[in-house]
Amino acid sequence: MEQYKKEFIEFMIDCNVLKFGDFVTKSGRNTPFFVNTGFYRTGSQLRRLGEYYAEAINSEFGTGFDVLFGPAYKGIPLSVATTMAIAERFDEDIRYCSNRKEVKDHGDKGILLGSPIEDGDKVVIIEDVTTAGTSIEETLPIIKAQGNVEIVGMVVSVDRMERGQGSKSALKEIEEKYGFPTTSIVTMEEVVEHLYNKPYKGNVIIDDTLKKSIDAYYEQYGVK
């Protein structure tokens, strides 16, 4: 596993973004782990988060694209932080773009904020976490309505590695349905590999009991 992935897992724990317990996902699934990027709340945290996203994007897609699109609301700071990180680390000036929940009819009009999306643009979509793959159904029409663009791919922070609407993973379903690749900074398999029965700051975060709960979750919702 790459070093930046290990650091990112520990970073999520330090920021209380990655938690273990009893939770319910947006798709209504009871889960023993939860990722809430809303807990990235400081400038230094967002700067580091953008760097991890930038590493994952460069590793999978490179930096030869035009726009990084972050769906409202959580995607707004993600797109800003990551384009800044790409500029600093890879010397590429990528435009950021997000949507508004309501169309603005005065001043800077329209449904978009940040850069406009133009015909011929190559776009990467950035999100926090994808579970059942429902959010992309709202995001893609917004992007496609702006012009004849190419979706280079989509990046999320954590691939939960569970089924979407059918028997395949949510990210795999997105790839097959919409025809573009997806990637993540880390997968839950990598999270478990890095934390299982290994102390971090004096504590074992994933012990045998929690590992059994995670395994049971994937028995029910994991890819078959």
* Terminal CA-CA length for the chain: 24
DSSP 96: E
State the Cα–Cα distance between residues 93 and 87, nearest whole angstrom. 5
Question: Shortest CA distance to 128 belongs to which of 191, 52, 196?
Answer: 52
- Catalytically active residues, by annotation: 104, 106
State the Cα–Cα distance between residues 79 and 45, nearest whole angstrom. 14
* Structure-token pair, residue 141: 């029409």
